[in-house]
């Protein structure tokens, strides 16, 4: 496979290269792509150096698959150009996710929707992926009525600039700000910009993308997304109301048998997921599974994953692996 990585010099792009190498993805030619600022720079993949090229050069190289993580505007403009050249695009930005003509894929849940005609495939938002991976098998069994989610999101979700801001603040150095406020010793209840309804885009992604991935518009979702000075991954407190009653042990058992999910749930041994330990791992971790005693058929959980891994690079590469296995590219 000839693979273009668009945004190869960025936070997600770098993890993308790492995950491709780790999974021994069948790369016959790697095409690292970034902005004009980075053209000519060298990046390393499996011990070999590759020169970063610009977008038009990459289109002309007609890769089999292009993995995009270079922001929404780049995707809107360039994904169709790659697709027109015969390259299948898997896009990490929010550009195509809610486009009704594009599929929004978490491979464990809905990869079977993909066909050869899907030339631009959307990768969901990081905070959505980790939540729906846990919700999908529970929805099947108990039917979800409503989800209330509060997130504690890693600064790595904002890219290289945010990591630099935190490092500057640690070191007491004045520098460029990725956020409007200091993030060290802070919690910022704003991830991405605000929409007219008073919610942030990140919160509305959790609402809209969950319904699309689970193919069910009747699920009510409400979210509060908060940025915290954490590097390893996103954490989420998730409250789920089902139509049908459940046993907590049964929920644990279902999640224990869910691909990509690891249950870490034992109060006696203080076992629960934490971003420090999720960092660098491909799984989604779930714990603090307990009944919400304030109303019937309702559950509380704590879900943690590395947003750069399952929330971005790993999910994208799993989609690419599915396309190859199903002979769709």
Ligand X SMILES: NC(=O)c1ccc[n+]([C@@H]2O[C@H](COP(=O)([O-])OP(=O)(O)OC[C@H]3O[C@@H](n4cnc5c(N)ncnc54)[C@H](OP(=O)(O)O)[C@@H]3O)[C@@H](O)[C@H]2O)c1
Provide the token pair at 216.
């069910």
> What is the rounded CA–CA span in Å between residue 164 and residue 274?
23
Q: Which of residues 11-40 bind ligand X (CB under 6 A)?
A: 11-13, 34-35, 37-38
By the rule CB under 6 A, 10 interacts with ligand X: yes
* Residue 74 lies near ligand X (rule: CB under 6 A): yes
Q: Is 139 a catalytic residue?
A: no
Residue with tokens 């050249």: 85
Residue 71 binds ligand X (CB under 6 A): yes
Residue 179 sits at the vertex; the CA angle it makes with 121 and 198, to the nearest 5 degrees, is: 70
Per-residue contact flags (x/-) with ligand X for residues 94 to 133, judged by CB under 6 A:
--------------------------------x-------
Q: What is the contact mask toward ligand X in residues 205 to 224, using x (rule: CB under 6 A)?
A: --------------------
Judged by CB, which is closer to ligand X: 56, or 267?
56
Min. distance of Cβ 181 from ligand X in angstroms?
19
Q: In the window 267-326, what residues touch ligand X (CB under 6 A)?
A: 307-308, 311-312
Nearest-angstrom CA–CA distance, 65 and 20? 13
Please state the residue numbers annotated as binding site for phosphate. 97
Contact present, 162 and 192 (Cβ < 8 Å): no
Strand partners for 144: 242
* Residue whose CB is less far from ligand X, 203 or 241: 203
Opening angle at CA 157, ends 79 and 146, nearest 5: 90
- Position 69 contacts ligand X (CB under 6 A): yes
Is 35 or 224 the residue whose CB approaches ligand X more closely?
A: 35
Q: Residue 276 half-sphere exposure, CB side, CA atoms within 13 Å?
A: 2
Among 152, 127, 129, 134, which residue's Cα sits nearest to residue 299?
134
* Candidates 184, 191, 234, 256; catalytic one: 234
Residue from 157, 229, 232, 275 touching ligand X (CB under 6 A): that is 157
126 annotated active-site: yes
155 lies in the binding site for ligand X (CB under 6 A): no
Cα angle 199, 202, 207 (rounded to 5 degrees) comes to: 75
Please, how many CA atoms are within 13 Å of residue 73, restricted to the half-sphere of its CB? Answer: 1
Q: Residue length, the chain?
A: 329
**Minimum CB distance to ligand X, residue 145 (Å):** 28
Q: Which of 112, 127, 139, 144 is nearest to 255 (CA)?
A: 139
Residues that bind ligand X (CB under 6 A): 7-13, 34-35, 37-38, 55, 69-72, 74, 92-93, 126, 156-157, 159-160, 307-308, 311-312
Active site residues: 126, 234
């Amino acid at each position: 496979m000839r693979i273009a990585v668009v945004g190869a010099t960025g936070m997600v792009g770098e993890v993308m290269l790492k995950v491709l190498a780790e999974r021994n993805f069948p790369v016959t030619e790697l095409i690292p792509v970034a902005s004009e600022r980075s053209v000519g720079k060298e990046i390393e993949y499996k011990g070999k150096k590759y020169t970063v090229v610009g977008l038009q050069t990459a289109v002309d190289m007609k890769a089999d698959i292009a993995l995009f993580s270079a922001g929404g505007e780049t995707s809107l403009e360039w994904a169709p150009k790659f697709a027109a050249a015969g390259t299948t695009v898997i896009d990490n930005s929010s550009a195509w996710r809610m486009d009704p003509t594009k599929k929004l894929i978490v491979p464990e849940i809905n990869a079977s929707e993909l066909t050869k005609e899907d030339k631009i495939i959307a990768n969901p938002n990081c905070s959505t992926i980790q939540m729906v991976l846990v919700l999908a098998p529970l929805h099947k069994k108990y039917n979800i009525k409503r989800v209330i989610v509060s997130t504690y999101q890693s600064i790595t979700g904002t890219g290289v600039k945010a990591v630099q801001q935190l490092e500057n603040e640690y070191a007491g150095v004045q520098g460029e700000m990725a956020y409007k406020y200091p993030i060290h010793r802070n919690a910022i209840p704003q991830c991405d910009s605000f929409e007219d309804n008073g919610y942030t885009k990140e919160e509305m992604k959790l609402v809209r993308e969950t319904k699309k991935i689970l193919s069910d518009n009747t699920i009510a979702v409400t979210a509060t997304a908060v940025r915290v000075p954490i590097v390893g991954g996103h954490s989420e407190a998730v409250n789920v109301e089902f139509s049908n009653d459940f046993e907590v042990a049964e929920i644990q058992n279902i999640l224990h048998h869910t691909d990509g999910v690891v249950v870490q749930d034992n109060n006696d041994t203080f076992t629960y997921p934490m971003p420090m330990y999720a960092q660098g791992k491909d799984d989604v971790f779930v714990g603090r599974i307990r009944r919400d005693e304030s109303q019937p058929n309702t559950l509380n959980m704590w879900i943690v994953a590395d947003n750069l891994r399952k929330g971005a690079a790993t999910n994208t590469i799993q989609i690419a692996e599915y396309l190859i296995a199903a002979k769709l590219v």
